[in-house]
Chains A and B, each alone.
Chain A
Amino acid sequence: SQQGEEDPQALSIQEGENATMNCSYKTSINNLQWYRQNSGRGLVHLILIRSNEREKHSGRLRVTLDTSKKSSSLLITASRAADTASYFCAYFTGGGNKLTFGTGTQLKVEL
């Protein structure tokens, strides 16, 4: 299976703390994306990082990519209760718009 793996599987933090999630993948990629899913609903695209980039920022999100280690991390700074969701890394495999997803990290941010 080409499915990526994420750790931790679950993460519980207090509001205001930072949350870091890690993704490891198995194939060569052109880019890696992160998506968020609230409580069994649809996924929302958060950020995309290309294979020639090492770090990218978007608001409170910071993504890093290490293609030599086939790994990426997503950092959410100053987390809020509204950040409670599952987070998935994803990358294209096999052509077209076929995305392969990681196993996901469930983040819970408590007040």
Chain B
Amino acid sequence: KAGVTQTPRYLIKTRGQQVTLSCSPISGHRSVSWYQQTPGQGLQFLFEYFSETQRNKGNFPGRFSGRQFSNSRSEMNVSTLELGDSALYLCASSDPTGNEKLFFGSGTQLSVL
């Protein structure tokens, strides 16, 4: 089984631009969650999607949004980028059997200049 796939691996943007990151979960997994990792704040939860519906949301501004498609693939979007949005963005999927462990992708490293 293929693992969680995130694209692109690296991204460089400038302030004010917007960006879309993609995540394909493990086949059969319906829950996709997103995390931001920075040296200062550590790993922080952004949001979770399950069956195309946002099930949970972290404490991030409205510039951060996401969606999930019928095939469980998910995208997150950040509009009006700020320097502080530079981070490693990780997505994770979990299987429907409820074994409670998450499977993470390798992440997208976003640099905002």
Contacts and interface: CB of A to CB of B under 8 A. Distances in A.
Contacts of B100: 31, 33, 48, 92
12 contacts: A40-B107, A40-B109, A42-B107, A43-B104, A45-B103, A48-B101, A92-B100, A97-B102, A99-B45, A99-B92, A101-B43, A101-B44
Nearest to B45: A98
Interface of A: 3, 31, 33, 35, 40-45, 48, 88, 92, 94-101, 103-104
Contact of B90 (A31, A42, A104): A42
Interface of B: 4, 31, 33, 35, 42-45, 48, 50, 55-56, 58, 88, 90, 92, 94, 100-107, 109
A101 B44 CA distance: 7
A41 B33 CA distance: 16
B101 A88 contact: no
A97 B109 CA distance: 23
